[in-house]
A = this chain, B = another copy of it.
Amino acid sequence: MSAETQLALDCPLPIADHPQILLAHGGGGRLMHQLIERVIGPAFANPNFDTRHDGAQLILGGARLAFSTDSYVVQPLFFPGGDIGTLAVNGTVNDLAMCGARPCYLSAGFILEEGLPVETLWRVVQSMRRAADAAGVQFVTGDTKVVDRGKGDGIFINTAGIGVIQHPGKVGPAQVQVDDVLLLSGDLGRHGIAIMAEREGLAFESTIVSDCAPLADLALGLLDAGVAVHCMRDLTRGGLASALVEIAEAAGVEIALDERSIPVYEEVHGACEILGLDPLHVANEGRFVSFVAPADAERALALLRAHPLGAGAAVIGHVEARGYPLVTLRSQIGATRIVAMLSGEQLPRIC
């Protein structure tokens, strides 16, 4: 048997349903989850690699650090409320903050398509600098590659980031407890709808602006105040629903949500109805959910609401029980339904 045949046989079979990469493999939902759990995760398996968290928590040279990376392929490059550069800073800053780390340093890797106007790159780089200044981080290293015309799409950016963990407790799905209260930092769906509207040329009564923002001050404010935060997650690809299903599966818990308490702007609601989207699946770039001990929930809500980026914060549910992983939603009219991870691809290249 040739090495080639052996490799083909060893390739994990569940992937045989989809022998080729689909857009949905990057969508933050069920297919992406499978690809990571079955193809990438097993190869990279080691005690420091957790496929179910957006960043690694490490001890290195005596320091407690968080390390995270994301690539950004959003289309269009510029949209109401930001651009690919803003996103590339805030996305990685937020992943570090969700590990309970103060973001410090970023790297920038550019993949440029031949023919891109240099001025476009220059505008994006200026955005990255402004976003880095606003988030209190520095770019310290980078790389630039160019691919032939038709082999890229203007600009792709990867950022990786390092942060310092200043608080003793771990923050992650393994720390989730029964009765934890779920706090959402603001209204859902504006980033995804802003991108879709720009891409599809949809006009709404007022322009829907992305919520893209750095969450480190808001999230670390809870830890600094001594709130017992067990887990935090920013609600990017796949939205609130995919994030909570992933956490429920990683923690082995049932999460109960109350739809009436989940803030969604009326325009976003309307756009979702037109586009056939569920706001719970739409991507956000400046929203996160935190799992907080019940005794601290009221104080945590007040802390979030006192910050401009958390003014719309709300208690949206709680951890019901340990056992079968499940997310349920009590709807506006009082019925209860099961919330599923995003399946298929609704919103490709949203970040």
Contacts and interface: CB of A to CB of B under 8 A. Distances in A.
A19 interface: yes
Contact of A141 (B55, B122, B129, B145): B55
A21 B61 contact: no
Interface in A156-196: 156, 158, 160, 162, 164
Contacts of A36: 142, 144
A349 to B, nearest CB: 7
Secondary structure at the A interface, as helix, strand, loop or mixed, is mixed
B46 A138 contact: yes
Interface size class of A (residues with CB under 8 A): 35 or more
Contact of A116 (B20, B60, B69, B118): B20
Interface string A288-299: 000000000000
Contact of A71 (B111, B116, B119): B111
Given A60-B104, A122-B39, A142 B22 contact: no
A40 B105 contact: no
This protein's copies in its complex? 2
A60 B60 CA distance: 10
Nearest to A49: B140
A151 B76 CA distance: 13
A39 B123 CA distance: 10
Interface string A47-58: 011000011101
Interface of A: 7-8, 11-12, 15, 18-27, 32, 35-36, 39-40, 43-44, 46, 48-49, 54-56, 58, 60-65, 67-73, 104-105, 107-119, 121-123, 125-126, 128-129, 132, 138-148, 150-153, 156, 158, 160, 162, 164, 348-349
Closest 3 CB pairs of A and B: A61-B63, A26-B146, A160-B160
18 contacts: A7-B126, A12-B122, A20-B118, A26-B112, A39-B118, A40-B110, A44-B132, A48-B105, A49-B141, A60-B104, A71-B145, A72-B145, A73-B111, A107-B160, A109-B109, A147-B349, A148-B349, A151-B152
Given A21-B117, A72-B145, 20 more contacts: A7-B119, A11-B122, A19-B119, A20-B118, A21-B116, A32-B144, A35-B118, A43-B125, A43-B129, A44-B125, A44-B128, A44-B132, A56-B107, A61-B63, A68-B107, A68-B141, A69-B160, A111-B156, A147-B349, A151-B152
